[in-house]
A and B are shown apart, each in its own frame.
Chain A
Amino acid sequence: MRSFGILLKNELKLNIRNMNMVIFAVIVPLTVLVILGFIYGTKPAADGTAYTFMEQSFGALCCISICAGGLMGLPLIVSEYRERKILKRFQVTPVSPAKLLLAEFLIYVIYCIVSMLTLFSAATLFWKIKIHGSFMLFLGSWLLTMVSTLSIGLLVGGVAKNMKSASVIACILYFPMLIFSGATLPFEVMPVAMQKMIRIFPLAQGIGLMKAAFLGLPVENALLPVTVMSVVTLICFGISVKCFKWE
């Protein structure tokens, strides 16, 4: 346990030193929050709604760091370590692939937690957001969205041939999800036809669930997104550990 802590600590230090994730998973979401805050302030989301626009967008904002970590950071670091033969160095030590992947995985969980906490503090402090629904439900759906998205990233890093293909796959997943699933552009301002198409993104499902939990809206058929995300998580974890390649 202690030894795993040391591994995690050192890998986290290296990751922070690299700065990419500090920018994309912590600073970018905060910047988007501030911009939205200046535009919408404490205005209600629409005429007559009991919640503000900021409250409505909060779940989506939390997903920017989830996207950055899961669909950019994690796949790229795993494939980079493989391509640079760093994994090969680990291969001739007693460490197991599962332990190594878990350490990398937890780094991005930490980024997501930090991002969520900074967003929540800033939004509460400056734009007085309140949780209308259940905090525990919100936390649960946030956790599920994060774990399922990160597991997709783990899988991409695990199966991609090299860094180049990992980065192509990462971009294909990252940008559409980031832009269209409501993480940056609020879902509500999109045309209805587009909203319908976007619902197929797993991230959009997660955001929907988080929003409903945050705002205290009734959730129709919550079982479907929960099942989809859980199954995705299990499959991705299973394949990435099972098919792990050191080189």
Chain B
Amino acid sequence: MQTVINVEQLSKSYGNLPAVDKLSLSVKRGTIYGLLGANGAGKSTTIECILGTKDADSGMVSVLGCDPKKDRHRLFENVGVQFQEGDYQPEIKVSELCEETACLYEAPADWKKLCKQFGIGGRMGNTVKSLSGGERQRLFIVLALIPDPELVFLDELTTGLDAKARRDVWKILSELKSKGLTIFLTSHFMDGVEALCDEICILRDGKAVFFGTVETAKKASKCENFEDAYLMLSGQEGEKE
């Protein structure tokens, strides 16, 4: 299977504080890859270094065969991104945000169709800030899909959603995967990770402490429940009790 993301020996620190420490990982085409870890474990920094929006101190990153710093223009024609802290213009309407995003690409997907497909077709004339949490997250998936990408990055997409809305998002992602999309995500919800991710990597203080599948994680930690396995492997077991 073709590798779409390849990271080797990536390191990044803020002052003396190492955020990512010699991380290597690779993501295969058509799979869902989960980057897990506690708050501050280095997930967002890893994503930003992979995308080239932050400069890594050392290491090599290749995404779809591009160097994200040098080939930014070419890379982002084919990659959709949803940032944890990305924002939109105040007062912007759903239709305007979609139209404005679509116009930045050479061959964008039909955003009206995407909005309908994701159940926000009736909200296009509303302002983005008036949407409910679930609707907004679905809008962010639409935005990430507007480039008609081969690969999407979703940083904590389901944070702040209720159980039903979260489950809807997971369902959407699994449908997207079945259409051949590669998804790189971070999440704090292990039920979703267990249901979706083909491969996971658990970060602890910027270092990868586990690579593999959900099943191998359970075996390695001798836990039946994946959430227990995750907490043990990410070093948060003590905090839980």
Interface residues of chain A, those whose CB is within 8 Å of chain B, are 2-4, 6-7, 10-11, 13-14, 17-18, 81, 84-86, 88-96, 246-247
| Contact yes or no, A89 B53, CB < 8 A | no
| Contact yes or no, B85 A85, CB < 8 A | yes
| Contact yes or no, A14 B96, CB < 8 A | yes
How many residues does chain B have at the interface if contact means C-beta atoms less than 8 Å apart?
A: 28
Binds A, one of B71-79, B196-204, B206-214, B232-240: B71-79
Q: Is B191 an interface residue (CB 8 A)?
A: no
22 CB contacts below 8 A, A to B, read: A3-B104, A4-B103, A7-B103, A10-B96, A10-B103, A14-B91, A14-B96, A85-B83, A86-B88, A86-B89, A88-B83, A89-B83, A89-B88, A92-B51, A92-B76, A92-B83, A93-B76, A93-B105, A94-B72, A94-B77, A94-B104, A96-B73
Q: Which of B87, B90, B105, B147 contacts A89 (CB 8 A)?
A: B87
Q: What's the Cα separation between A92 and B51 when bound, in Å?
A: 8
* Closest beta carbon of chain A to B203's beta carbon, Å: 21
| Contact yes or no, B76 A7, CB < 8 A | no
Q: Which residues of B contact A7 (CB under 8 A)?
A: 100, 103-104
| Contact yes or no, A95 B88, CB < 8 A | no
Q: Is B195 an interface residue (CB 8 A)?
A: no
Given A14-B91, A85-B86, A86-B87, A91 and B100 touching (CB < 8 A)? no
| Contact yes or no, A6 B103, CB < 8 A | yes
Q: Which of A6, A13, A17, A92 contacts B81 (CB 8 A)?
A: A92
Q: Which residues of A contact B105 (CB under 8 A)?
A: 93-94
Q: What's the Cα separation between A10 and B76 when bound, in Å?
A: 21
* Closest beta carbon of chain B to A171's beta carbon, Å: 22
* Closest beta carbon of chain A to B95's beta carbon, Å: 9
| Contact yes or no, B85 A95, CB < 8 A | no
| Contact yes or no, B53 A92, CB < 8 A | yes
Q: Is B194 an interface residue (CB 8 A)?
A: no
| Contact yes or no, A247 B53, CB < 8 A | yes
| Contact yes or no, A6 B79, CB < 8 A | no
Q: Which residues of B contact A94 (CB under 8 A)?
A: 72-74, 76-77, 104-106
Residue of B nearest to A3 (CB): B103
Given A17-B91, A85-B83, A96-B73, A246 and B53 touching (CB < 8 A)? yes
Residue of B nearest to A7 (CB): B103
| Contact yes or no, A93 B87, CB < 8 A | no
Q: Which residues of B contact A247 (CB under 8 A)?
A: 53
Q: Is B92 an interface residue (CB 8 A)?
A: yes
Q: What's the Cα separation between A85 and B44 when bound, in Å?
A: 14
* Closest beta carbon of chain B to A19's beta carbon, Å: 10
Residue of A nearest to B127 (CB): A17
Q: Which residues of B contact A84 (CB under 8 A)?
A: 87
Q: Is B215 an interface residue (CB 8 A)?
A: no
Q: Which residues of A contact B147 (CB under 8 A)?
A: 93
Q: What's the Cα separation between A238 and B77 when bound, in Å?
A: 26
Q: Is B6 an interface residue (CB 8 A)?
A: no
